[in-house]
A and B are shown apart, each in its own frame.
Chain A
Amino acid sequence: MTATFGVLSVAASVRSGEVSALDVLDAHLEVVASHEAGVHAFNEVTAEQARVAASMVDGIVAGGGDPGPLAGVPIALKDNLCTAGTPTTCSSKILQGWHPPYDATVVQRLAAAGAVFVGKTNLDEFAMGSSTENSAFGPTRNPHDQTRVPGGSSGGSAAAVAAGFAAGALGSDTGGSIRQPAALCGVVGVKPTYGLVSRYGLIAFASSLDQVGPFAMSVADAAALLDVISGPDPMDSTCLGEATERSASRLGSGVDGLRVGLITEMQGAEGMADDVKARLALAADALAGAGAKVDQVSVPAVTFGLSAYYLIAPAESSSNLARYDGVRYGLRAPGSADITDMYLRSRSAGFGDEVKRRIMLGTYALSAGYYDAYYGQAQKVRTLIIKDFAAAYENFDVLLSPTAPSTAFEIGTKSADPLTMYLNDVFTIPSNLAGHPAVSVPFGTGDDGMPIGVQVLAPALAEPVMFQVAEVLELLAPPASLSASRRSLRAPGAPADRGADL
């Protein structure tokens, strides 16, 4: 197997004509063929369309044209990103069989850059969950240990990258849905600044928090993907203007002199495992060793993040998911006596329990008499979190925390108790509430041998410095028994080997 597996290395090899996009695709499809049955990363593998796209890339290369910066790079798409003509389900029965008539903006941008889409990945229904167990089509399993969850809600995308089904993937992150599964699967996962990436065509969970972001095996690959999908979009009013600096612009700069804050409130949080705590300390030491000034910093309001999030996100989702009513598309329960009966029966049959819980929670938080106490109050907490982060960033360039409280847990162990499941997002939620970027970088393994991720948080639009720090963590990460096997697949010249420059 000589094909390269990283985003940048595939693109470079395909662009130079060293390897064909079709060969790269076939190599990935072979891995899919041998492991997908166990992992179940995909709701649909789009091999045929991928072959057509790969052939087109090869044709452009053969003709001497520019096939784009992601030429021939196999990408997996979370199944809540609209793909014209290809079913987009959100892993929900209510959307089963729906064919969007349009492509999400991020999908268009990747396609225009020469990427090849391998398939649509599994998720917790409507991105509500932290384990990818809440899928109408069955759970995704962690490629490192198939008895465990891959995290969620973008578990399919994280697993696809970890398993080598795709060089990169897109997910969506509302409260940690990219970073937490990235940590649990031992890959890099990025939640960009709110507004950096268009949400047009991302099926909404909680609109003020949702953001599309990449998964990849390396920090440089993730930054490259982000640079392709980011930028203003006339179809999304909440997109920011053109970024002044590319996300990848500071890679290779090291961390000498950078100020790194260890968030005090995120070191002794409830349910945080000792091995995770130890890895975080090691990461802080590593950065200090590389020349960063590492210090403790208090961001008091983040302790209210989880509560605020579980009021705001359900509230917005209760409204976003009202449209699944059986009138225009998707599931309709047959034989209803009247319209209300049809609504009740279609929605009850189409949504799973977690979606129902959140819709009801959100409806309650917005309902007359409770709005101020719940939704209104949560929006104020959001203000406090933004304020506290702003104070912290007066003294620090980036902040550091664990990504998830523990390594991947066994399938079925947390699904009976929603609150326990929600606690998985305690470290990732504050960035969503503040609209800030954050990245999860693999940093060794836990006592159980499963991957652990550390999270680098940065202020709005500070992706370049965030990746700068993340890359150094990647280089200094302790050898991990499991992720080592994946890293060995990297071709020479891939980002991990650039450490010598630093």
Chain B
Amino acid sequence: MPRSITTDDVAHVARLARLQLSQEELTRFTQQLAAVLDHARDVESLDTTGVVPTAHALPLVNVLRDDVVTASLDRATVLAEAPEVEDHRFRVPKILGDSQ
């Protein structure tokens, strides 16, 4: 069973999720997440040996579409929503290294 969530854990997941937290938020969120995870301990302690996980309650397989071209969006409409555009492309601040 995992240990209780710490402020370091919360800082780590916030970073993974690209959220910036103040010290006050970090403390508060850690307490709140710990309470929810404590409540979830009943799930952790449940014996699920041999139980197959359900990703989906659906009885479906092989939902496929035909390889037929459909209309794309008008570029002006698409770019009108963009915060910044340059040369018909979405402009973003510089990328430091590989975020992958």
Q: Are A310 and B36 in contact (CB under 8 A)?
A: yes
In the assembly, what is the distance between CA of A422 and CA of B36, in Å?
9
**Tier of interface size on chain A:** 35 or more
Q: Are B17 and A360 in contact (CB under 8 A)?
A: yes
> Could you say which residues of chain B place their CB within 8 Å of the CB of A376?
53
The residues in B between 41 and 100 inclusive whose CB is less than 8 angstroms from any CB of A are 41-44, 46, 48, 51-58, 60, 63, 65, 73-74, 77-78, 80-84, 90, 92-96, 99
In the assembly, what is the distance between CA of A16 and CA of B19, in Å?
56
Partner of A383, one of B54, B93, B99: B54
Count of chain B residues with Cβ under 8 Å from any Cβ of A? 56
Q: Are A308 and B19 in contact (CB under 8 A)?
A: no
In the assembly, what is the distance between CA of A377 and CA of B37, in Å?
13
Interface of A is mostly: helix
For A307, A311, A382, the residue with the greatest tally of chain B CB atoms inside 10 Å of its CB is A307
> Could you say which residues of chain A place their CB within 8 Å of the CB of B63?
237-238
Q: Are B9 and A364 in contact (CB under 8 A)?
A: yes
> Could you say which residues of chain B place their CB within 8 Å of the CB of A330?
81, 83
Contact A435 to B58, CB < 8 A, known contacts A327-B92, A364-B33, A383-B51: yes
For B1, B43, B74, B77, the residue with the greatest tally of chain A CB atoms inside 10 Å of its CB is B43
Q: Are A338 and B96 in contact (CB under 8 A)?
A: yes
In the assembly, what is the distance between CA of A208 and CA of B95, in Å?
33
> Could you say which residues of chain A place their CB within 8 Å of the CB of B43?
304, 307-308, 311, 374, 377-378, 381
> Could you say which residues of chain B place their CB within 8 Å of the CB of A356?
19, 21, 25, 29
Contact A370 to B40, CB < 8 A, known contacts A304-B46, A344-B20: no
Residue pairs across A and B with CB atoms within 8 Å: the count is 179
In the assembly, what is the distance between CA of A408 and CA of B94, in Å?
49
- In the complex, whether A224 has a CB less than 8 A from a CB of chain B is no
> Could you say which residues of chain A place their CB within 8 Å of the CB of B35?
417-419
Contact A386 to B81, CB < 8 A, known contacts A308-B43, A339-B99, A340-B99: no
Residue of A nearest to B83 (CB): A332
Q: Are B9 and A208 in contact (CB under 8 A)?
A: no
- B residues within 8 Å of A by Cβ? 1-2, 5, 9-10, 12-14, 16-21, 25, 29, 32-33, 35-37, 39-44, 46, 48, 51-58, 60, 63, 65, 73-74, 77-78, 80-84, 90, 92-96, 99
- A residues within 8 Å of B by Cβ? 98-99, 101, 194-195, 208, 234, 237-238, 240, 303-304, 306-308, 310-311, 318, 322, 325-332, 336-345, 347-348, 351, 356-357, 359-361, 363-364, 367, 369-370, 373-374, 376-384, 386, 417-419, 422, 433-436, 460
